[in-house]
Structure 1
Amino acid sequence: MADQQPLQAQDKLAFLLVLVPYLIDHERVSVAEAARHFGVPEQRIRRAVELIAVSGVPGETMQYQHGDLFDIAWDDFEQNDMIVLTNLVAIDDSPRLSAREASALIAGLQYLSALPEAADRDAIRALMAKLSRGAGGAASNVAVGQDLHDAALSTIRRAVADGRGLAFEYAGPRTRGGTRRVDPLRVESIDADWYLRAWDLDRQALRTFRLDRMTNARVDDRPAEKTIGDVVIPDTLFQQSGGDVIVTVELDCSALPLVADYLADTADAEDADGRVRIRLAASNGFDGVVRLVAGLPGRAVVLDPPAARAAVRAFAEAALAAE
């Protein structure tokens, strides 16, 4: 079996982080078996084991002593190609997760369990319970804010699990409302907003729908025509269509990650004042641009077209008049 391309430093670290627990769990395993398990050449396993054998945690003197390093049964390794760890380092006295760390992980697992493609929810719940018990302190009761969308999420999950289509009433920034018939593919979130990525049957294209604009979601009797394996889903939530207007916005470069999913193309280079210009694909109503600018007070300015500037100005004037 030919060796693969050399691993980068971060890849080597990631490989060691999964290899060490594997060796501990198996106690005695052959190089060939480990290579088959990880799908790598045997020589890569041997090099990794040799690296593990010179790894460890320095003692109180900050110098490595024999007991501060992992060790293996060298004769068995060199003569029989068998791996046996004979000295483990920082396993029994490794620190527990703090309450804050455990709470963050639990919140992430709660989010994961809400996704329709998350199949093994029993395993997720068991892991959440283990995190709560194993934390260094009592984990906070953390809930991911999705209460308003629970009914829609449950319906979407059922449609995906049964391989069925989905129908719902939808009023988006580009439509006045109507029934949409889709094949649900994925649910994602940005901050507090949840989105459905789905194949729109009427438009025969991938579309993104906000769950808070969906009503009366129901599972169709028809089988889904498209599944997540049939459609290439871009990393960004929104893609430009022929009816979009390109809006140029200037904002602080520190705010760029907050709008990455909305960019129509790449951002310009940062100027001397730490500002960048971006272009967004927007509908003629500019609702999305107005919400974006309102969510970045003092950090974003619409430059073009004039109609988009007027929409932002009208929103600001209405907000001031309501005070």
Structure 2
Amino acid sequence: MAERAQPLQARDKLAFLLSLVPWLMDHDGASVSEAAAHFGVTPEQIREAVELIAVSGVPGETDSYQHGDLFDINWDAFEERDEIVLTNLVAIDDSPRFSAREAAALIAGLQYLSALPENADRAAIASLMSKLSRGASAQPSQVGVEGAVTTGAIDTIAPDPLAPTLALIRESVERGVQLELDYQNSQGQRERRRIDPLRVESIDADWYLRGWCHLREAVRTFRLDRISNAIITEQPIEHRASDSDVRLPDVLFEPSPEDLEVTIEVVPSAMPLVSDYIPDGANTTEHEGRIRTTLRVSHYHGLKRLIASMPGVAVVVAPPSARAAVQAWAQAGVARYRSTT
């Protein structure tokens, strides 16, 4: 019995057609069955889409379609061998192209994404980087992101001290097994933890692992530079980000009743750097050209690192204990610097 095609909704049909044309350009001479298998539709839907493409185009200056204004295919190959060969493309070469610098910036971002454990299958990212390289107006500069793992002409620029830990996390995700590690929290306490890794994220130069902690029986956030003696176990992962009992917030840090409240002033352009620390409903006002707001931090040690990462753009206003902690830490750094010069 012939396979019966289910009609696509208008929005799905548009998305399908927009995806089909570039796929056919990359797979010149693909068969109808290959295209159907790739897009998860029936061969009949592929044939209907190809016939629609063949009567699509852009009218010329006379607002009427002339020779060369429509897409075209090799009709003999299509009708006799069920093979799709595009013989005329419309407005493809006229579309704006990324400059070499723009393509290099996008490739660097994709290279960063390829290093994240949740993107363990990096074939699609590598394919997109290759297309950006080919489609730019000029050859992009070779770029690299520390800790990223890529192939081809794009190489890493320097070894990352966190790369071994990231590699272990990636391997545990690929194998579907748990991690064991020693973790030192912001108070300096060290504990052995068993983790189901869920997601790796970064804020500025710091990397964080979010995972299900079997010691705490909840999702916890671990800064990678505080992880040591990590090993991969043979225990299968029991919790995943898609599980109904796992709540993985969009923000990296969530407030808790034990958090400390700190008032700071920050220049408006630096607000995105502290947005993850600002609780919902925080009183935010403008004060002499700066934004005054409230942060919640688990410990003053974390506050010191945060303020040190924004020299000249953030100032601790209150409480006095927070100001004193940051001041003492800065003075200790100056004293050490002077002792080594």
Do they superpose with TM above 0.5? yes
Q: Distance in 1 between matches of 2:202 and 2:15?
A: 30
List aligned pairs for 1:2-17, cutoff 5 A. Answer: none
Q: Where does residue 120 of structure 1 map in the other structure? A: 121
Bigger mean CA deviation after superposition, 150-159 or 17-26: 17-26
Amino acid at match of 1:244: D
Q: Aligned pair in 2 of structure 1 residues 21, 64: CA closer, same or farther (>3 Å)?
A: farther
Post-superposition shift, 1:311? 0.5
Which of 16, 20, 36 in structure 2 is aligned with 1:22?
A: 20
> Corresponding residue for 2:301?
287
2:230 equivalent in structure 1: 217
Q: Aligned letter for 1:22? A: L
CA 1:108 to 1:161, structure 2 compared with 1: closer, same or farther past 3 Å?
A: same
Q: Equivalent residue for 2:242? A: 229
Q: Which moved more, 1:242-251 or 1:117-126?
A: 117-126
Aligned partner of residue 161 in structure 2, secondary structure: helix
- C-alpha distance in structure 2 between counterparts of 1:296 and 1:17, whole Å: 43
Q: 2:169 is matched by which residue type in structure 1?
A: I
The TM-score, its normalising length taken from structure 1, stands at 0.73
Please state if 1:247 is matched with 2:262: yes
CA contact (8 A) 1:253 1:270 kept: no
Letter of the 1:296 counterpart: M
Question: Of 273, 276, 284, which aligns to 1:261?
Answer: 276
1:122 Cα offset (Å):
3.3
* Deviation sequence 1:23-76 (CA, Å, 0-9, x none): 67679x9xxx9xx989xxxxxxxxxx9xxx8x96996xxx96756x97799xxx
Unaligned runs of 5+ in 2: 1-5, 26-31, 42-51, 73-85, 148-159
Residue aligned with 1:246, SS: strand
**Cα distance in 1 for residues equivalent to 2:102 and 2:87:** 32
**Aligned length in residues:** 287
Give the Cα separation in 2 of the matches to 1:58 and 1:288: 62
Give the superposition deviation at 1:129.
Answer: 3.1
Shift of the alpha carbon at 1:21? 4.4
Gaps of 5+ in 1: 39-48, 74-84
Is the 1:199–1:206 contact (alpha carbons within 8 Å) kept by the matching residues of 2? yes
1:112-138 per-position Cα deviation (integer Å, ceiling 9, x unaligned): 221112132234334333433333222
How far residue 151 of structure 1 moved from its aligned partner, in angstroms, is 0.8
Aligned to 1:150: 163
- Cα deviation, 1:250-299, whole Å, max 9, x if unaligned, reads 21222111111222334534426442222222234x01111111222222
1:167 aligns to what SS in structure 2? strand
Q: What is the match of residue 108 of structure 2?
A: 107
After TM superposition, the structure 1 = structure 2 runs for residues 1-323 of structure 1, keeping only pairs within 5 Å, are 19-22=17-20, 89-146=90-147, 147-230=160-243, 231-271=246-286, 273-284=288-299, 286-321=300-335, 322-323=337-338
Partner of 1:80: none
SS at match of 1:320: helix
Report the Cα distance in structure 2 between the residues aligned to 1:228 and 1:130, rounded to whole angstroms. Answer: 31
Q: Which amino acid aligns with 1:219?
A: I
Contact 2:284–2:293 (8 Å) recurs in 1:
no
Q: Which residue of 1 aligns with 2:156?
A: none
Indicate how the Cα distance of structure 1 residues 283 and 23 shifts in structure 2: closer, same or farther if over 3 A, else same. Answer: closer
Which residue identity does 1:132 align to in structure 2? S
CA displacement at 1:92 relative to structure 2 = 2.5
Give the alignment's Cα RMSD to 1 decimal.
Answer: 4.0
